[in-house]
């Protein structure tokens, strides 16, 4: 079975721009979660989608948004980029409907650099 | 909310030694505790997990112990090998509920040949 895939793997943007990241979960997985990983804050939960609905949300500003499609693929968007948004953005999928606390399988991440 | 403390932040051992990483959590309602290994340039990979109805779980050279009363859990790696070098994260959450998982800050394990 193919693992979680994320595109693009690397991205460079400038302040004020917006960016869209994509995640394809493991086949059959219906829950997709997004995380931000930085050296200073560690791994922080952004949001979780299940059946095209946002089910959980972390403590991030409204500039961070996401969506899930009917095939469970997910995208996250960050508008009006700030220097502090530079991070590794990780996507994780779960096999069942038990919420973001079920066993999660992570993708390789998208490294976003904001200049 | 939940708070997870992880220690040490860096651990350096010789090949063949054992390594122990400890985490404490604050919310007694947490019942699911996974451990992840993250190698350079990759996403975290689940290596073992434990639920609150179990005190210990083993998988070859890896074991996890849980003390619900003290609210701490530990990762034990025996007979370490250079390929065990990575960053390890613990996490705590409530399985089956809409609860956001909280991660520890990570431990950088270095295994010297």
Closest-CA residue of B relative to A46 is: B100
pLDDT score of B98: 57
List, for residues B5-31, the tens digit of each pLDDT value: 999 999 999 999 999 999 999 999 898
What six digits make up the tokens of A65? 């948004």
Q: B residues 74-113 near A, CB within 8 Å?
A: 89, 93-106
Of A43, A45, A99, the CB nearest to B97: A99
Q: Give the mean model confidence (pLDDT) for residues A8-33.
A: 95
Estimate to the nearest angstrom the gap between the alpha carbon of A98 and the chain centroid: 19
Rounded to a whole number of angstroms, the distance from the CA of B107 to the nearest CA of chain A is 11
Nearest-angstrom CA–CA distance, B57 and B50: 7
Nearest-angstrom CA–CA distance, A47 and A80: 19
CA nearest neighbour of B92 among B43, B40, B60, B52:
B52
pLDDT score of A95: 77
Residue with the two structure tokens 């500003």: A61
Partners of B89 in beta bridges: B36
For the purposes of burial, counting CB atoms within 10 Å of the CB of A35, is it exposed (0-12), middle (13-18) or buried (19 or more)? buried
Q: Give the mean model confidence (pLDDT) for residues A88-101.
A: 75
Q: What does pLDDT average to over chain B?
A: 93
pLDDT score of B52: 83
Q: Give the mean model confidence (pLDDT) for residues A27-39.
A: 92
Inform me whether the C-beta atom of residue A84 falls under 8 Å from chain B C-beta atoms.
no
pLDDT score of A40: 84
8 A C-beta contact, residue A88 and residue A8: no
pLDDT band at A100 (very low <50, low <70, confident <90, very high): very low
């Amino acid at each position: 079975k193919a693992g979680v895939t994320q595109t693009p793997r690397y991205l460079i943007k400038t302040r004020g721009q917006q960016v869209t990241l994509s995640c394809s979960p493991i086949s059959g997985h219906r829950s997709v979660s997004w995380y931000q990983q930085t050296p200073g804050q560690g791994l922080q939960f952004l949001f979780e989608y299940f059946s095209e609905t946002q089910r959980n949300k972390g403590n991030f500003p409204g500039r961070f948004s996401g969506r899930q499609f009917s095939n469970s693929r997910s995208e996250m968007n960050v508008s009006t980029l700030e220097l502090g948004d530079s991070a590794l953005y990780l996507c994780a999928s779960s096999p069942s409907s038990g919420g973001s606390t079920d066993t999660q399988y992570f993708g390789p991440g998208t490294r976003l650099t904001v200049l | 909310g939940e708070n997870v403390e992880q220690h040490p932040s860096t651990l350096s051992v010789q090949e063949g030694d054992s390594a122990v990483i400890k985490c404490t959590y604050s919310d007694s309602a947490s019942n699911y505790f996974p451990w992840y290994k993250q190698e350079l340039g990759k996403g975290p990979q689940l290596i073992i997990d434990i639920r609150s109805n179990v005190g210990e779980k083993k998988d070859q050279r890896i074991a996890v112990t849980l003390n619900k009363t003290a609210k701490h859990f530990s990762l034990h790696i025996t007979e370490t090998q250079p390929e065990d070098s990575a960053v390890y994260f613990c996490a705590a959450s409530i399985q089956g509920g809409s609860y956001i998982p909280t991660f520890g800050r990570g431990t950088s394990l270095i295994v010297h040949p």
